[in-house]
Amino acid sequence: MDLQLAGRSAVVTGASRGIGLATVRALRAEGMRVVAGARTSPVELTETGATVVPVDLSTPAGAVRLVERALEELGEIDVLVNNVGGTDRVQNLAFADSTDEEWYEFLELNLMAPVRVTRAALPSLLRTRGVVIAVSSGDALTPRQGTPIGYPSAKAALNTAMKALSVELGARGVRVTTVSPGATRTSLWEGEVGARFATAAGVAHEDFLAMLPTHAGVLTERWITPEEIAAAITFVASPRSASTIGANFLIDGGALRSL
Ligand SMILES: NC(=O)c1ccc[n+]([C@@H]2O[C@H](COP(=O)([O-])OP(=O)(O)OC[C@H]3O[C@@H](n4cnc5c(N)ncnc54)[C@H](OP(=O)(O)O)[C@@H]3O)[C@@H](O)[C@H]2O)c1
C-alpha cells in the first residue's frame, strides 16, 4: 500500500533512540523529510538523513526552538510525532517517597513537552491540515504496580489533552491521535531506570528483562519492538488514515484485559 507520505514533512521528538529513532527510520523509508529533536545526536540518528536539532524538550524554550528550526528546514509541518516522554532519571518508586520535583519532571516531559511543541507547530499544522500523534503508554490505562505513579498520571493527562485537542482541531482539518505502547524493549528498560526496577523486584537486571513481558501480561511473551510501534505511527500519519481522529491505539500484546 502506498501510504502517500513521500515528500511530506515530519517532526519527531525524543528521536535519538528507542521508539523515536524507529519512527524517524520508518518515516524516512516512506520518503518523508524529517526533523528530529533530542538532546544528543548519535550516528544512528544522523545516518537516517533526518535533520537533527539538539534540544532539551523539558524546557519551554526547547519546544519553541525545535519548531522554529523545523519550519526553517521544512517550510511547513505535515506530521508531528510527540514521542518524547518517560524518564531517564532513576525516580523513587513508592508514592510516599515521591517528591514534587519528580512529579513535575514527569509532567514536564510527558505532558508539557507535547503541549508546547504542538502549540508552537499549530499555525503550520492548520495550514497543512496536518496530523499530531502523541506517544502515550498502556500504563495510563492500567497502572502497573512498582511504577512511580507520576508517570501513568502524566500519560493519562496526555491522553485527555490529546482527545480534547482532537475535538477542537478535527473540524479545522488537523487530526490528533494517540499511540500507546506496552512493554517495548528500549534503553528505558535496558539502562539505569530498568536496573532500578530490577533491584526493587529483587532480581538481576538481565533476569528482569527476560521475565518482564510475561510478568506484564504480554500474550506473545516477548518484548514489543520499537519498529512495531513505529509502524503504527506511520500508518496513522498517512492520509490513508484520514478518518482516524481522536483514537488511542493500544499496542501492548494483549496485556490490557478490559474493553
Ligand atoms: N519503552 C516502553 O516500554 C514504553 C512503553 C510505553 C510508552 N513508552 C513511551 O514511548 C516514548 C519513547 O520511549 P522509549 O522507550 O523509546 O524511550 P527511550 O529509549 O528512553 O528514549 C527516549 C528518547 O527521548 C529523548 N529525550 C529524553 N529526554 C529528553 C529531553 N529532555 N529533551 C529532548 N529529548 C529527550 C532521548 O534522547 P536524548 O537522551 O538524546 O535526549 C531519547 O531519544 C515515551 O513517551 C515513553 O513514555 C515507552
Per-state percent for the chain, helix, strand, coil, to nearest 5: 50, 15, 35
pLDDT for 18 equals 98
Q: What is the pLDDT of residue 140?
A: 97
213: in domain: no
* Cα 110 to ligand 1 centroid, rounded to whole Å: 9
Helices 226-237 & 18-29, crossing angle to 10 degrees? 50
Looking at ligand 1, which residue's alpha carbon is closest to its atom 20? 188
For residue 134, the domain's CATH number is 3.40.50.720
Catalytic residue among 62, 114, 151, 209: 151
Distance between CA 83 and CA 239 in Å, rounded?
20
99 in any annotated domain: yes
Which pLDDT value is given to residue 88?
80
Q: How far is the CA of 85 from the centre of ligand 1 (A)?
A: 5
Contact 236, 251 (CB under 8 A): no
Q: Which atom of ligand 1 is nearest to the CA of 57?
A: 32
Please report whether residue 95 resides in a domain.
yes
Q: Residue 10: how many CA atoms within 13 Å on its side-chain side?
A: 35
Residue 162 lies in a domain: yes
- How is residue 227 written as a grid cell? 519498529
pLDDT (tens place) for every residue of the chain, 259 residues total: 999 999 999 999 999 999 999 999 999 999 999 999 999 999 999 999 999 999 999 999 999 999 999 999 999 999 999 999 999 887 888 999 999 999 999 999 999 999 999 999 999 999 999 999 999 999 999 998 888 999 999 999 999 999 999 999 999 999 999 999 999 999 999 999 999 999 989 999 999 999 999 999 999 999 999 999 999 999 999 999 999 999 999 999 999 999 8
Is 70 a member of any domain? yes
Cell 499530531 belongs to residue: 132
Q: What is the pLDDT of residue 92?
A: 82
| Residue 196 within any structural domain of the chain | no
To test ligand 1's pocket by mutation, which of 34, 82, 88 has the most ligand atoms within 8 angstroms of CB? 88
Q: Is residue 256 part of a domain?
A: no
Residue with cell string 528507542? 18
Cβ of 98 less than 6 Å from ligand 1: no
Of the chain, the end-to-end C-alpha distance in Å amounts to 30
Q: Is 135 in the pocket of ligand 1 (CB under 6 A)?
A: yes
Predicted local distance difference test score (pLDDT) of residue 91: 80
To the query of whether residue 151 is one of the catalytic residues in this protein, the response is: yes
Q: What is the pLDDT of residue 36?
A: 98
Instruction: Give which of 103, 120, 93, 106 is closest to 37, Cα–Cα.
Output: 120
Nearest CA owner, ligand 1 atom 6: 137
**Residue 207 covered by a domain:** no
Structurally, how many domains does the chain consist of? 1
Name 47's Cβ contacts closer than 8 Å, sequence gap at least 6: none
Tell me if residue 41 falls in helix, strand or coil.
coil
Domain region containing 236:
9-184+224-251
Give the H or E element holding residue 13. Answer: strand 9-13
Ligand 1 proximity of 33 Cβ (cutoff 6 Å):
no
